[in-house]
Structure 1
């Protein structure tokens, strides 16, 4: 799944004082985009079924390697992505749960791109995730007999002192890992509440274009374009994946559901 990509993005950004930046400002967005592009390059290059591909998890998440990628960004080097069009599936859902005993579950379920096929008597639809393979031969994500497709899901539980403090996940295809990383940074670096963290304007850069939420001010995107970046503005006020999570503070759970989808946060009496 995409937990590796999400962690690599966070490990790159750990070399910057993200919390001191203006959230959604030009400096913040350019930094996020360059880190996301490097994450995407490594995802395409290395992530695949470990029965077929040697996935160098230790190296991809190492402090030295991620520090080297951070040094490139600090030096002003711009990453370039070479990939085919990525179609994010629309048939994914996520649920985050914490009970009164402190047990926590983050669960993301998807059909990928649903096939429409149901076997008589079984009652469930088969996914069409073969469409998510890289059609180019000789790559980590290329199609092969019996090979499993890498998933974009990144359900996450963050622990502090061996206790869960954040339970979060999202639907959204290739947008999940970058959106989840931003949600976690909103909570930890910007000290937001869970409703604030899941609703704050996001960006994604899984191509050479920086895609921004429609709530990013135009003077910010004009400054970024002035630096030579291509920016695409989403028509959505709340765009890119759909974060749903719970933050646990002093034994109290506070949930948040991204306003763009039909999720909600609620407490259920025992």
Structure 2
């Protein structure tokens, strides 16, 4: 049966004057809010939230994964992306996901193998952001999560559903932890994590170097090599995060800053919005077939080009200028006919509009398994913003838990192409393409909205549809998040959420669009809206998980 949302407006929405936190888990939101109340800034709170989510959402994120954290620093006006994306070890090679006969290894097999694990980067990115903009020591920010591990936290329906749906992904260590002696957890049951607490205590004492060069690094390498992987101590030691400029664009009077490659999230978001800008969406209405038609066909255009051209810019020329060129976008608009699903939609040739030449486009096998992750956003009394999308990739990542240390390792290398030859083939030191999309919207130079979502490629769909619901349809933030979403890649099958107008769905079906048999949840948006006139902040969390927003209305000594 498809999973359904569990809406709780009181928990999922909040107003505040001195700060706001919105995450997918109540523990993380509470910890982030406490950091703000104790005088910390948004960057401090974001770091504490990331550790807390490793406790509450281990199937979605953790120190064994990666992430992109966008920081808007109010005083300087700087916007930076602290890129802690996973990187391929030196032993990676273009044919790594092919068997001895040159055939693609089935996804489930290759995504739960030790060779799928990328060098985790989230700790490096968080540490760098904290050193540049934070105000509290790392050890203090780890402490609430460490205590939660030791005291235990109640298991919620989100993790129990994930264990039901994706427990098959767990390796022996993780299976022994989550299914001890065959027992099945119940909602509300208290779960302690002593091994993860030990890991956090090591990081408190020794800093993130312990993860990349010390005791924890040795445990990671020994675990992976014992399971047939090829990560080495040098791979971990040599990992370097990057600090990137955001990709920027506009939409109907708003300035937008979002994450840049190696994530395709920001570029694809702007591409979709620039095409949608040519249409008066408000005249169609939020439930109209015309809206859904435009969303689907424009997503097909965007994802065709994303798959063909976006990859790690350290290894490839990327036609970002060409993809955003007005002449190229005008070419792409010609595929929109409002009559039928256009069978001719495919990638175009943006290289016509800038210098350079890309690699050949290699078609990839279609994968049915959904990736997952988490997004959180926080702002403080000074106007700083931190928005982070972090992940272990597919639910429970590779399923490999480091024995004695209590955290799961990602399977992010499966974001590389399985069939080599294209821009996104595996190579040593390369970062696989991602769709993460932490985003901030500005009006007249001032932030008015920050948001993001998990969901692999559906991240882009969730973010742009929430923006359109606010900008074009005038929805309040919570309604904009909850409005049923639709998603399409270049393939035939559409994903859709329960609540889509049945008449609009029927109209699209008559136009040769094929819907999946059942609706399912798409994304999990966390967002904060800013009223620049009153100074009030409005936070909202998606009801598809146990999302929680907390606003700070009172601070001692602050009027």
Please say whether Structure 1 and Structure 2 have the same fold, judged by a TM-score greater than 0.5.
yes
Structure 2 counterparts to residues 128-139 of structure 1, below 5 A: 128-139=411-422
* Corresponding residue for residue 389 of structure 2: 108
Separation of aligned partners in 1, 2:517 and 2:270: 26
Instruction: Say whether residues 1:33 and 2:299 are aligned partners.
Output: no
Equivalent of residue 228 in structure 1, options 512, 529, 535: 512
* Corresponding residue for residue 96 of structure 1: 377
Specify every segment of 5 or more residues in structure 2 that has no aligned partner in the other structure, as ranges: 1-262, 347-362
Instruction: Say whether residues 1:4 and 2:285 are aligned partners.
Output: no
- Cα distance, 1:124 vs. partner? 4.3
Instruction: Say whether residues 1:71 and 2:352 are aligned partners.
Output: no
Structure 2 counterparts to residues 194-233 of structure 1, below 5 A: 194-206=477-489, 207-233=491-517
* Corresponding residue for residue 458 of structure 2: 175
Specify every segment of 5 or more residues in structure 1 that has no aligned partner in the other structure, as ranges: none
3-state SS of 1:39 partner: helix
8 Å Cα contact 2:335/2:345 also seen in 1: no
8 Å Cα contact 1:98/1:104 also seen in 2: yes
Separation of aligned partners in 2, 1:79 and 1:198: 32
Separation of aligned partners in 2, 1:60 and 1:41: 12
| 1:54-99 Cα deviation digits (max 9, x unpaired) | 1111111222222221232148544546653243323x11111121
Separation of aligned partners in 1, 2:497 and 2:303: 20
Higher relative contact order (CA 8 A, sep 6+): 2
Number of equivalences: 267
Separation of aligned partners in 1, 2:364 and 2:536: 44
| 1:180-204 Cα deviation digits (max 9, x unpaired) | 1111111111111110110001100
3-state SS of 2:413 partner: helix
1:122 and 1:57, CA in 2 relative to 1: closer, same or farther beyond 3 A?
Answer: farther
Separation of aligned partners in 2, 1:83 and 1:186: 33
Separation of aligned partners in 2, 1:266 and 1:67: 43
Separation of aligned partners in 2, 1:125 and 1:80: 39
8 Å Cα contact 1:96/1:244 also seen in 2: yes
8 Å Cα contact 2:290/2:338 also seen in 1: no
Structure 2 counterparts to residues 74-89 of structure 1, below 5 A: 74=337, 77-80=342-345, 83-86=364-367, 87-89=369-371
Moved more, 136-145 or 241-250: 136-145
Name the larger-Rg structure.
Answer: 2
Separation of aligned partners in 2, 1:204 and 1:180: 11
Query: Normalized against structure 2, the TM-score is what?
Result: 0.45
Query: Normalized against structure 1, the TM-score is what?
Result: 0.91
